[in-house]
Amino acid sequence: MSEMEGAPHQGTQKRRLQVNPETLRLVPAEKRDFWEKLAEDVEINIASQFGKRWTMLATLTVILATPDETYEDIARTLNRSPGAVRYRRQAMIHLLRDEHAAVDRVKAYRSDPKTFHKYSDYAQVAEALELLGYFDLPVREQFALAAPLGQPSKSWRGDGSSAALAQRRDRDGSLKQEVRRLLDEARPYSKSA
């Protein structure tokens, strides 16, 4: 039975309930304030189309983009996140190259959209590729069209993690020092138990 048929993932184990029998300690207010202030430093920019249904026009915009365009450029045009644009583009690449069971995902979605709703993005991209006649092209041309867009670095995934890591590296380190101090302060309590 394949994953698409509902088989559980290999290697997953049941989680055990972990009970901490120690009595709870109250954390002084000044230490709680430090952790609560961390939330104020977080800044999230959300695209206006985040979580909204993709139109065929928006999907075609991603498919017809040329490799000299970047994920950020297309994302700005569509009011989407670069990661969402990258996901659509990767679906296109996987379908044209017939990789990662992309064609099977589309077939599964078309056979039962309710059960395989998580493959709806691939199905819409496949529909757009069919409308454009990309599947009728010779394989050599399909592979030539299956190119990613420009990205800031090779490891970029579009989820914002690289920007978050860069921002973290640029900080003065005071957060790291404060966490180390708190951990050092907490160690005598854990050894006495």
- pLDDT, one tens digit per residue, over 18-34 is 777 788 777 777 777 77
Range of the domain at 98: 48-152
Asked whether residue 131 is assigned to any structural domain, the reply reads: yes
Point out the residues of the chain with pLDDT beneath 70: 1-15, 39, 41-44, 157-174, 188-193
Whole-model pTM above 0.85?
A: no
Asked whether residue 183 is assigned to any structural domain, the reply reads: no
pLDDT of residue 34: 77
pLDDT of residue 21: 79
Asked whether residue 3 is assigned to any structural domain, the reply reads: no
pLDDT of residue 102: 95
Quote the number of domains for the chain.
1
Asked whether residue 128 is assigned to any structural domain, the reply reads: yes
Asked whether residue 36 is assigned to any structural domain, the reply reads: no
pLDDT of residue 32: 78
Asked whether residue 174 is assigned to any structural domain, the reply reads: no
Asked whether residue 32 is assigned to any structural domain, the reply reads: no
Q: Alpha carbon of 18 to those of 15, 21, 26, 152, 190: distances in Å?
A: 9, 10, 21, 42, 16
Asked whether residue 192 is assigned to any structural domain, the reply reads: no
**Whole-number Å distance between alpha carbons of 93 and 66:** 13
